[in-house]
């Protein structure tokens, strides 16, 4: 390993980096999943109704089922139909059947008159308002008719979709599966979070934060634990990781230190698509594919790894999950104070954006160094500060990525 000022990797811009990531990815092959596990996943096929809903004409109100065209104001009550087993009632002119919401309309009935508009006494009901054909009747197939494409391939399964699928008896659903993501934290200085660090050691926070971010995007993390800065240990761990996951994240070891072994390892085992990006934090962000598995080499500094997760890993996981909307919304916001930033790369500063007087105002979350994870706590936006000037003034407009909002584009 050479230790020196030069990196062999050209610095590419942030958009080019995403294009190179996206070019290597496709949605995971469709699989069947239990409806219970489907929340947040993307449907891989159109769902076509094979049954009508409602399957039978039913009442939308508690009241009386009558022949719609029968104008007689008083009718003999022949029985009662609850929501449930059919009572075999048959309504003819001059008769009515008590009916409850959701009850099947008796034979012969064409309308329901709500109980509020009736008076029943001695087995005879008097109608206090007129009746229009079809009123308060939910006809067969009103919600869903046989042959309807009820849900389209590519749509995200939310609570309403879950309800519809259950209604149609689809308790096994064709989806793009939830990607599994292996996380390995590398660094000789690391100890597990439940240990007390010795001299020169720190606790591993990154694999926890990354696992949580993986869960937050609806994927399944596999925490592989800590790996020392040793070429052979790293090679073994990485090979194990790519064998069991749809994507691998490494943390640490991608800068230019003598013990930064990730980049050469990725070169040895696979193809490195980039090793430097003109952004701050996280210039040494590395992306490779190893045996067809995407591998992000994230730097060790906690903010760097989380910001790169947000900007690259998260959209990559959404793409693999079959989502069509990959990116969070952006807004134009006004700076509440002067901001100094890197002149030579796009800088993502953590900020709180609030609406005041019909304007979005951004306040950064204090010191923005990449080791200070607290700069992400409570942040709802990443200010996207352009290359060029290196400072922006209070009141100036800049772009902000709204990281507390669902993807919209
Ligand atoms: P590296 O990218 O390996 O040069 O790591 C840069 C710095 O990030 C290290 O000096 C640590 O302070 C910090 N760091 C590395 N790995 C972790 C981790 N897993 N959790 C928290 N901080 C880390
Ligand atoms: Mg390191």
Cα(283)–Cα(299) distance, integer angstroms: 9
The CA-atom distances, in angstroms, between 129 and each of 51, 120, 269, 355 are 35, 14, 81, 52
Question: What pLDDT tens digit does each residue of the chain (409 aa) get?
Answer: 445 567 789 999 999 999 999 999 999 999 999 999 999 999 999 999 999 999 999 999 999 999 999 999 999 999 999 999 999 999 999 999 999 999 999 999 999 999 999 999 999 999 999 999 999 999 999 999 999 999 999 999 999 999 999 999 999 999 999 999 999 999 999 999 999 999 999 999 999 999 999 999 999 999 999 999 999 999 999 999 999 999 999 999 999 888 899 999 999 999 999 999 999 999 999 999 999 999 999 999 999 999 999 999 999 999 999 999 999 999 999 999 999 999 999 999 999 999 998 999 999 999 999 999 999 999 999 999 999 888 999 999 999 999 999 999 9
Long-range contacts of 334-337 (CB under 8 A, 24+ apart): 334/359, 334/360, 334/361, 334/362, 334/395, 334/396, 334/397, 335/361, 335/362, 335/383, 335/392, 335/393, 335/394, 335/395, 335/396, 335/397, 335/398, 336/361, 336/362, 336/363, 336/394, 337/363, 337/364, 337/394
Q: 51 and 170 in contact (C-beta within 8 Å)?
A: no
Cα(214)–Cα(407) distance, integer angstroms: 15
> What is the model's pLDDT at position 4?
56
| Ligand 1: nearest atom to the Cα of 185 | 19
Question: What are the beta bridge partners of residue 99?
Answer: 63, 81
Place of tokens 């040895």: 268
> What is the model's pLDDT at position 1?
41
Within 6 A (CB) of ligand 1 lie: 185, 187, 190, 202, 204-207, 251-255, 257, 299-302, 371
Ligand 2 center to 349 CA (angstroms) = 23
Ligand nearest to the CA of 251: 1
Helix ranges, 136-230 (H) = 159-167, 206-216
Go through 39-51 and write b for each residue having 16 or more CB atoms within 10 A of its CB, e for each that does not: eebbbbeebebee
Please write the tens of the pLDDT for every residue from 276-311.
Answer: 999 999 999 999 999 999 999 999 999 999 999 999
Ligand 2 center to 253 CA (angstroms) = 4
247 Cβ partners below 8 Å, 6+ apart? 179, 180, 181, 182, 293, 294, 295, 296, 313, 316, 317, 320
Ligand 2 center to 186 CA (angstroms) = 6
**Closest Cα partner for 282 from 170, 399, 371, 181?**
371
- Please tell me the residue having the least CA distance from ligand 1 atom 15: 300
Ligand 1 center to 206 CA (angstroms) = 8
Ligand nearest to the CA of 255: 1
Ligand nearest to the CA of 372: 1
Ligand 1 center to 202 CA (angstroms) = 9
Instruction: Pick from 252, 254, 263, 369 the residue to mutate for probing ligand 1's pocket: most ligand atoms within 8 Å of its CB.
Output: 252
Ligand 1 center to 207 CA (angstroms) = 11
> What is the model's pLDDT at position 388?
87
| Ligand 1: nearest atom to the Cα of 205 | 20
Ligand nearest to the CA of 209: 1
Ligand 2 center to 227 CA (angstroms) = 10
């Amino acid at each position: 390993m050479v230790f020196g000022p030069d990196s062999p990797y050209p610095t590419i811009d942030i958009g080019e980096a995403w294009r190179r990531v996206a070019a290597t990815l496709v949605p995971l092959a469709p699989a069947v999943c239990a409806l219970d596990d489907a929340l947040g996943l993307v449907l891989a096929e159109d769902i076509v109704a094979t049954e009508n809903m409602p399957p039978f004409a039913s009442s939308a109100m508690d009241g009386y089922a009558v022949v719609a065209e029968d104008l007689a104001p008083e009718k003999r009550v022949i029985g009662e139909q609850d929501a449930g087993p059919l009572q075999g009632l048959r309504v003819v002119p001059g008769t009515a059947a008590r009916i409850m919401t959701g009850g099947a309309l008796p034979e012969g009935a064409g309308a329901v008159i709500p109980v509020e508009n009736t008076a029943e006494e001695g087995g005879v009901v008097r109608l206090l308002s007129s009746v229009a054909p079809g009123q308060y009747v939910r006809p067969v197939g009103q919600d869903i008719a046989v042959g309807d494409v009820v849900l389209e391939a590519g749509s995200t399964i939310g609570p309403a979709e879950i309800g519809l699928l259950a209604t149609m008896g689809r308790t096994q659903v064709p989806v793009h599966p939830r990607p599994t993501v292996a996380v390995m934290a590398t660094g000789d200085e690391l100890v597990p979070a439940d240990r007390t660090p010795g001299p020169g050691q720190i606790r591993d926070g990154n694999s926890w934060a990354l696992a949580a971010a993986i869960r937050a995007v609806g994927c399944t993390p596999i925490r592989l634990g800590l790996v020392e800065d040793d070429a052979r240990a790293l090679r073994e761990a990485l090979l194990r990781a790519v064998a069991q996951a749809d994507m691998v994240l490494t943390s640490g070891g991608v800068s230019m230190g003598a013990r930064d072994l990730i980049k050469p390892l990725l070169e040895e085992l696979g193809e490195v698509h980039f090793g430097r990006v003109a952004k701050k934090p996280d210039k040494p962000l590395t992306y490779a594919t190893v045996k067809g598995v995407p591998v992000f080499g994230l730097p060790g500094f906690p903010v760097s790894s989380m910001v790169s997760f947000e900007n690259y890993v998260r959209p990559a996981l959404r793409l693999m999950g079959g989502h069509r909307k990959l990116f969070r919304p952006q807004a134009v916001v006004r700076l509440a104070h002067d901001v100094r930033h890197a002149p030579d790369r796009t800088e993502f500063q953590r900020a709180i954006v609030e609406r005041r007087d019909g304007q979005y105002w951004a306040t950064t979350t204090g010191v923005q160094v990449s080791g200070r994870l607290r700069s992400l706590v409570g942040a709802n936006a990443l200010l996207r500060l352009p290359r060029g000037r290196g400072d922006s003034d209070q009141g100036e407009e800049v772009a902000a990525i709204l990281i507390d909002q669902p993807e919209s584009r």
